[in-house]
Amino acid sequence: MRQIMYKKRHSLKNRRKMISISERAEDQECQTAVRKSFIYIVSRPQNPAPVLEAPQVYVHKQVDSRNHQERFCFKVKGAFYMNRGQQAIKVEFCHCLRIDIIWKHKIFSPKKSATLT
């Protein structure tokens, strides 16, 4: 069985937009929950010559062998600039991907050699 939920929120006052997608799936081997979220905040840059910084990337993986669970989180935060008419606009973003897997048996993700053959 597979369930998908989609949410889209925005605030013109705060110049913010959020998109969220959640998916739950269950089969014979495991239960899986996947959540994706995208957040954007628009503002005017303070400096006339903006400096771009590299996006920050966070990766976290956790394996709980006692409860047969795996968790994975991938997050990217950063900003970019774009032109609208003759104005420069700064867009800050945060993209997040979370995956939770609950295994019904003691079989975890296959080893690297098993996936390559």
What pLDDT score was predicted for residue 109?
59
Q: Is residue 58 part of a domain?
A: yes
Residue 101 lies in a domain: yes
How would residue 39 be classed by pLDDT, with cut points 50, 70 and 90? Answer: very high
Backbone dihedral angles phi then psi of residue 49, each to the nearest 5 degrees? -115, 90
Within a domain: 41 = yes
Helix (H, G, I), strand (E, B) or coil at 103: strand
With a cut of 90, say whether residue 93 has pLDDT above it.
yes
Q: Which of 9-13, 21-25, 97-101 has the lowest mean pLDDT?
A: 9-13
Q: Is residue 24 part of a domain?
A: yes
pLDDT of amino acid 46: 81
Residue 62 lies in a domain: yes
- Whether 22 is in a domain gets the answer yes
Count of domains observed in the chain = 1
78 within a domain of the structure (yes/no):
yes
Q: What is the mean pLDDT of the chain?
A: 86
**What contacts 24+ positions apart, CB below 8 Å, involve 82-90?**
87/44, 88/44, 88/45, 88/50, 89/42, 89/43, 89/44, 89/45, 90/42, 90/43, 90/44, 90/45, 90/50
pLDDT at 116 over 70: no
pLDDT of residue 65: 83
115 domain residue, yes or no? no
Domain of residue 101 covers 2-108
Secondary structure element (H or E) that encloses residue 41, with its range: strand 30-43
pLDDT of residue 52: 80
Q: What is the pLDDT of residue 83?
A: 85
